[in-house]
């Protein structure tokens, strides 16, 4: 990569790109705003280890920041031209992330959402593996996300089982 092309992934353009990745990751939460938990969710039988509602906002906000920095770190290593597969995989998992709330809260169908969250988990794992080949710290930034979605999948499955 020549110096001028390499410079485009540093400086002001790079910071704008980080802001773009942040906006994109936080936009993933929009369907959750359109399909909030509501009365249906409040009435579900929940396991004793279900986290309090206030936990979800801070956890997801932290994860979205880490996800954005991770994607930005990969983008900085050549942009979409050189990192098309890793960044495309990242975008796929974002779409799957955004789809979960409409499936769970919108359709009010934990079984369908469980299948979807398992596909999301696989997509996150694939993204993590692909990111590791490009930039190991970017992959490590996705580990808490994978852990949280693992927990969410177990919770989703438990809710499905408790509320047939």
- Does the structure show a pLDDT above 80 at 84? yes
The full DSSP string for 83-114 is -HHHHHHHHHHHHHHHHHHIIIIIS--HHHHH
Place 6 in a pLDDT band, splitting at 50, 70 and 90: low
Higher pLDDT, 10 or 80: 80
Check if the beta carbon of residue 104 is closer than 8 Å to that of residue 91. no
Helix axes 56-75, 11-27, angle to 10 degrees: 140
State mean pLDDT over 136-145: 98
Check if the beta carbon of residue 1 is closer than 8 Å to that of residue 65. no
Distance CA 133, CA 106 (A): 37
Tell if the pTM clears 0.85, that is, is over it: yes
The full DSSP string for 14-57 is HHHHHHHHHHHHHHTTHHHHHS--HHHHHHS---TTPPPGGGHH
State mean pLDDT over 113-128: 98
Place 4 in a pLDDT band, splitting at 50, 70 and 90: very low
Distance CA 30, CA 35 (A): 9
Check if the beta carbon of residue 56 is closer than 8 Å to that of residue 148. no
153 token code pair: 């999948």
Distance CA 54, CA 66 (A): 20
State mean pLDDT over 118-144: 98
């Amino acid at each position: 990569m020549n110096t001028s092309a390499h410079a485009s992934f540093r400086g002001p353009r790079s910071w704008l790109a980080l802001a773009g990745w942040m906006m994109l990751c936080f936009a993933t939460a929009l369907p959750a705003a359109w399909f909030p938990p509501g009365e249906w969710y409040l009435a579900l039988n929940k396991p004793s280890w279900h986290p309090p509602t206030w936990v979800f906002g801070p956890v997801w906000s932290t994860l979205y920041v880490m996800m954005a920095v991770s994607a930005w770190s990969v983008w900085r290593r050549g942009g979409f031209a050189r990192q098309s597969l890793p960044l495309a995989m990242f975008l796929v998992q974002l779409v799957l992330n955004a789809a979960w709330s409409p499936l769970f809260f919108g359709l009010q169908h934990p079984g369908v959402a469980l299948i979807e969250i398992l596909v999301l988990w696989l997509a996150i794992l694939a993204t993590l593996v692909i990111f590791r080949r490009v930039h190991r710290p970017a992959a490590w930034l996705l580990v808490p996300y994978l852990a949280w979605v693992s927990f969410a999948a177990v919770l989703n499955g438990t809710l499905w089982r408790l509320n047939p």
